[in-house]
Structures are given as structure tokens and as C-alpha cells.
Amino acid sequence: MKMKTGIIAAMAGMIAFMSCKKNETTTPSTNNSTSADSIPAIYKKIYGAKSITRDGDFIVITTIDLPDHKSVYYKGTQWASTLYEAYNGTNSSFSAAPNTIEQQNITFRIPANPDLNSAHSSTPMGPIGISLNGVPFFNQYAAGGAALGPEKNSFDQYDGHPQQQGMYHYHVEPLWLTQNKGEDAFLGVLLDGFPVYGPQENGKTLSSSDLDAYHGHFGATADYPNGIYHYHITADAPYLNGDGFYGTAGTVSQ
């Protein structure tokens, strides 16, 4: 009797074990859209983002927009003790704007698979992309769509400044990034998903005349050896973007 009971118990245990194994091997895996594997490699270079996730066909990037370099615009802020620095750039006409850097809450939704959009929508005022250190790119215009002109005299030593709400941004070459990453480095991405590179390519310093109407061209880069459309920063206007986005732009919210 004891032997029979033992055999029955052993068989029950074996059935339970096999049932568990069956459940383990047949449970479907879920596709976690926020997993690191679903994020294109180039986005992992954006070190200043608060978060980078994937939501279907979009890469979602959040930033608090606090530049990781010193600035005259940190004066009087809670970060002044470590990040304030008097202007020491090369612009003899520098004049600080009355604004200071304030922490933001900005969310970019950028197409994960950028593609040409023949409509080439105009870039908005405000953020049109995000740089490596989490600072937004703005277009080539000052408030009201005017040429940058005198506004460039308010750019700090790394060629950025904050607008009235304290949102720090770059209209032109982000000198902190090109000085530390290289003049030919990947610098960020615009809202249409196409990457932005520095002013040099294959040892040549580019100007706007080397680029198309949208301030970019197609070609191989270190990150895309098979080629991709990409933008370049140049020293001459329009600096970053020309007559609109090359591709279909995503969205930005605050």
C-alpha cells in the first residue's frame, strides 16, 4: 500500500513538473516598446535626455533642458555655484539677454524610420530637434520670424541662450558639442528623424552652398555607412535647417 501511494505521488509530481515546463515554454513573449533593443543605436548617443523610449513608429525623448556646460545664463539660478561662468567667448559685441536658464519638461515624438516628405513643412518657432546634451535646436529665426541678426550677440560662449521662459537652445553650432565630440560628429536629430552632423565632412568644412535647400544632403556617415539624408551645421545662414523639414516631422510638447 505504501509503495502504491508513493508511485501515485511520484506520478502526480511528474505531471505537475511537466505542466509547469509546458507553461514556461509556450507562454508568448511580449514586445516591450520601451526596451533598449527597440531604440535605434544612434539615439543612444543622446546622453542628455531624461528618457528615450519607443512607442510604435516613434522614438519618444524627454528632456529637462539643462545644458551640461557652463553659461552666463546660469547666473542667479540654483545651479549657479557650479555652472555659472562669466562670458569669455570671442564676440566683442556680446550682451546678455535678461533671461536665465530654467528647467523644462519637453517631449519629442520623432519618426523611428524617417522618410522624404515632398511637402517639406516649415520648421516651427521653438524646438525643431534635440541635441546630444538634451538641449533643443531652434531654427534660423529670431522672434517673429526675423533674421537672427543682433540676437546672435546674446549667445553665450557655447553659442546658446535661453528664451523668455528660460528654455535654453541652440540656433547655430553648439560649440560645447563640436569642441568635445568633433567638428564632424553626430550632434542630434531633427523632428523629422534625420540626423544632424557638424560642419565638417571628409575633412572639408562645409558651407550652405554645399547643401540642398533644406540644409542637408544624402551620403554615408560614420553611423550610417550605407548612406542617409542628414543635415549639417554651417557657419553661414541658415546654420542648421533651410526651407523646411526634409521628412515628415513628429511633434514636440511641453
Residue 35: per-residue pLDDT: 57
pLDDT digits (tens, 9 = 90+) for 179-212: 999 999 999 999 999 999 999 999 999 999 999 9
Contact 65, 167 (CB under 8 A): yes
CA nearest neighbour of 133 among 79, 100, 176: 176
Mapping DSSP to helix (H, G, I), strand (E, B) and coil, where does residue 213 land?
Answer: coil
pLDDT at 144: 85
The single-letter code of the amino acid at 168 is: Y
Percentage of the chain modeled with pLDDT above 70: 86
| pLDDT number for residue 26 | 30
pLDDT number for residue 244: 97
Q: In what order do the strands lie in the sheet with 51-55?
A: 51-55, 58-63, 106-111, 251-253
- Measure the CA angle with vertex 60, ends 59 and 66; round to 5°: 125
Whole-number Å distance between alpha carbons of 196 and 222: 12
d(CA 79, CA 44): 26
- What number is the average pLDDT over the span 215-241? 97
Residues 74-90 have a mean pLDDT of 98
Residue 21 pLDDT exceeds 50: no
Q: Which residues 6+ apart lie within 8 Å of 23 measured at CB?
A: none
The fraction of the chain above a pLDDT of 90, given in percent, is 84
Alpha-helical regions (H) of the chain: 2-26, 80-83, 175-181
Average pLDDT, the chain: 89
Statement: residue 7 has pLDDT above 50: no
What sign results for the dihedral spanned by CA atoms 207, 211, 216, 219? negative
Instruction: State the pLDDT at residue 36.
Output: 59
pLDDT digits (tens, 9 = 90+) for 100-141: 999 999 999 999 999 999 999 999 999 999 999 999 999 999
Contact present, 200 and 186 (Cβ < 8 Å): no
Give 90-99 pLDDT, tens digit per residue: 999 999 999 9
d(C-alpha 225, C-alpha 94), whole Å: 40
For the segment 45-66, the average pLDDT, to the nearest whole number, is: 98
pLDDT of residue 98: 96
